[in-house]
Chain A
Amino acid sequence: MALIEVKNVSKIYNTNSVPVNALRNIDLKIEKEEFTAIVGPSGSGKTTLLNMIGGLDNPTSGVIMIGGTDISTFKTDAMINFRLQNIGFVFQAYNLIPVFTAKENVEFIMLLQGESKEKREAEAVNLLKAVDLGDKIDKKPTELSGGEQQRVAVARALASKPSFVLADEPTANLDSVTANNLLDLMEKLNEVNKMTFVFSTHDSRVIERAHRVVTLRDGQIDSDKKQNELAVKKQ
């Protein structure tokens, strides 16, 4: 059974009463431990697809199964709870809570899960050490660089021990060196911790490092290739 299964999903937005087909009959399976990039030009529907997989938006038609559970039927609070227990998010603009320190930002997710203070604190410190921010646990987001903030966001995404992490354009605001460092970190988490990552991106640096690349065009899957196939194509 695939970890993520998108079955015949369509999404139509009614913008100014004009229907816009953001996704058209998408079928996609993502297995555990994959390191997948969903790519495509602006407006191709990659963020919409990521939002559907993350339960942040509902499909107009079709079904989304996560670990065998159909999340398209969930009500709002059930969906929030499902996200908390199963999905880690990394956003393009980091989106950390500005009044919290790095440690508090990571801890907060575990607080929502009802973990004890001691466990939260210990786990948050471990996660921040794992993303090489052990010396910056008490820094607020404004005192951290963009790359450091995104690493805190990764630690936060991992804090809930999710089944997979969804990352929406995670490197878009980062310079090359920082972006590569972040990808190294994610790759390591994928290889060592067996964490599944799904990115939406149009960043070639991410595409090059992805193990699988799903290309969207006009709301439809244009291509779905594994890295070895891509490598052959490049040659």
Chain B
Amino acid sequence: MLLALAWKNIWRNKKRSLIILTAIALGLWAGLFSVSISIGVWEATINSTIDRNLSHIQIHKKEFKEEKLISNYIPNGNTIADEIRKDKRVKEVSGRVLIEGMASSPTSSSGVNIIGINPENEKEVTSISSYIQEGKFFETKKRNPVLIGKKLADKLGLKMGSKIVLTFQNIDTTLTFAAFRIAGIFKTESTNFDQSHLFVKKSDLYKTMESEPIISEIAIRLNSSDDLDSVYSKLKLDYSSLAVETWKQLAPELEFTYEMLILELEIFLGIILAALLFGITNTMLMSVMDRIREFGVLMAVGMKRVRVFFLILIETFVLSIFGGIIGMLLGGITVWYLSDKGIDLSIFAEGLNAYGMPTQMYPVLPLYFYFVLIVMIIITAIIAAIYPSIKTIKLMPAKAIRTY
């Protein structure tokens, strides 16, 4: 009956209740939408980095982490890669040869990271093949094909079919160079990556270096990112002499920034709710002031102060939760609709690409955010109810009954 009374009291002044409900709902909807865009952009950035070249897990020789020399290759790397490939949680493994070298064109030269790959494996581990803008992903039969980034091609003044000379240190520390021909130009969301990386077939590198098939990096793509921790733990145990790292360790700035972003977004929602708190308190205060005589009567006829307190608390609570649910529903529907359709931000492409961010943005709102928000709304409702409740229970019934 107390609940029924609270509910009926809320709708006594429909206009006032609807205004505050709308304010709560719109405030939360706007807040959730902004949060989902921020998370969506950042998750897309992380996914794009994982897709582009990072993969879920990488394995290196520990010394390679100190000095990125070709001589620091993984002992029995190909055998290890084959063993890992057998795990059902693993989608594909790419054994890569990584060399820091110099790319020279007739007009210019630039320091580059040369990535030697097996195109078939790499296709399954990263999505670099989907970023090809000109040419094809190693489908040419010409010798020594190379894929370079658009930014690097522009810098070196190269086009499709142009020759490029790659110079790098061999395993025996002698300087080796070879001519490659541009078979494809890729453009990812990261201009930094496009400017500093190029892909060659690792078999071509072996020939150039007159080397055995060695690999300096094992990139592992999982079927589901949910298995990241379990696969990582297993690999760390199996290959304790090697450096096994997840994308979070390989790019800690991504993980740290994401965690900071989540914290900032929670604070942002807290600020929205703090602003709403004043609105709710004001509404409840007006509602209480309108009913001073009634509260006086209730206390006169025997309603204990704790019950009066709870009546106002329930009214505030129901009003806030009701508005909160509407806001969350609106936010959820908006996010659900746009997470499928996406938001085209190509108008800001140049700026976004400089930070490695994609131009098609899909809002994302993790489920736990709704729970965080519900807790925040409950706390807000309780705080908002305190002042009007205390003001009410301090009323003197004899005086309150005579208030008009």
User: A81 near B304 (CB under 8 angstroms)?
Assistant: yes
**B1 interfacial contact with A, CB 8 Å:** yes
Interface residue ranges of B1-39 to A (CB < 8 Å) = 1-2, 5, 8-9, 12
Question: Which residue on A lies nearest to B6, using beta carbons?
Answer: A99
Any A CB within 8 A of the CB of B143? no
Interface size class of A (residues with CB under 8 A): 20 to 34
Interface contact A156-B5, CB-CB below 8 Å: no
**Cβ contacts under 8 Å, B401 to chain A:** 56, 91, 95
B positions within 8 Å CB-CB of A: 1-2, 5, 8-9, 12, 293-294, 297-307, 396-398, 401
Interface pick from A30-38, A59-67, A106-114, A175-183: A106-114
The reply to whether A112 and B5 contact each other, CB–CB distance below 8 Å, is no
- Judging by beta carbons under 8 Å apart, are A112 and B307 in contact? yes
**Distance (Å) between the CB of A79 and the closest chain B CB?**
9
Contact A108 B1, beta carbon cutoff 8 Å: yes
- Give, as a whole number of angstroms, the nearest-CB distance from B8 to chain A: 4
Q: Does A135 contact B (CB under 8 A)?
A: no
Which one of B8, B304, B396 contacts A100 once the chains associate, using CB atoms below 8 Å?
B8
Decide: B305 and A77 in contact? CB cutoff 8 A.
yes
Say yes or no: B302 contacts A109, CB within 8 Å. Answer: yes
| CB-based A-B contact count at 8 angstroms | 65
**B302 shortest CB reach to chain A, Å:** 3
Within 8 A of B (CB), among A80-113: 80-81, 83-85, 89, 91, 93, 95, 97-100, 104, 107-109, 111-113
A157 to B, closest residue via Cβ: B301
Select B5's contact among A51, A93, A97, beta carbons within 8 Å. Answer: A97
Determine whether A147 belongs to the interface, using a CB cutoff of 8 Å to chain B: no
Cα A154 to Cα B19 in complex, Å, equals 38
Which of A54, A77, A91, A99 has the most chain B CB atoms inside 10 A of its CB?
A: A99
Contact, CB under 8 Å: A57 / B304: no
Q: Chain A 103-135, CB within 8 Å of chain B: the 1/0 string? A: 010011101110000000000000000000000
CA distance A116 to B305 in the complex (A): 22
Q: How far does the Cβ of A198 sit from chain B's closest Cβ, in whole Å?
A: 15
30 contacts across the A-B interface (CB closer than 8 A): A56-B300, A56-B396, A56-B398, A56-B401, A57-B396, A80-B303, A81-B302, A81-B304, A83-B300, A83-B301, A83-B302, A84-B301, A89-B297, A91-B297, A93-B293, A95-B401, A97-B5, A97-B294, A97-B298, A98-B12, A98-B294, A99-B8, A108-B1, A108-B5, A109-B301, A112-B301, A112-B303, A112-B304, A112-B307, A113-B302
| Given A91-B401, A95-B297, A98-B12: A104 touches B305 (CB 8 Å cut-off) | no
Q: Are A99 and B12 in contact (CB under 8 A)?
A: yes
Nearest CB of chain A from residue B2's CB, rounded to whole Å: 8
| In the bound complex, CA of A104 to CA of B4 (Å) | 10
Q: Given A56-B397, A57-B396, A91-B401, are A80 and B9 neighbors across the interface (CB < 8 Å)?
A: no
Pair A80/B302 contact, Cβ less than 8 Å: yes
| Residue from the set B1, B8, B300, B401 with the largest chain A CB neighbour count within 10 Å | B300
Asked if A44 lies at the interface with its beta carbon under 8 angstroms from chain B, I say: no
Chain A CB within 10 Å, residue with most, of B8, B306, B397: B397
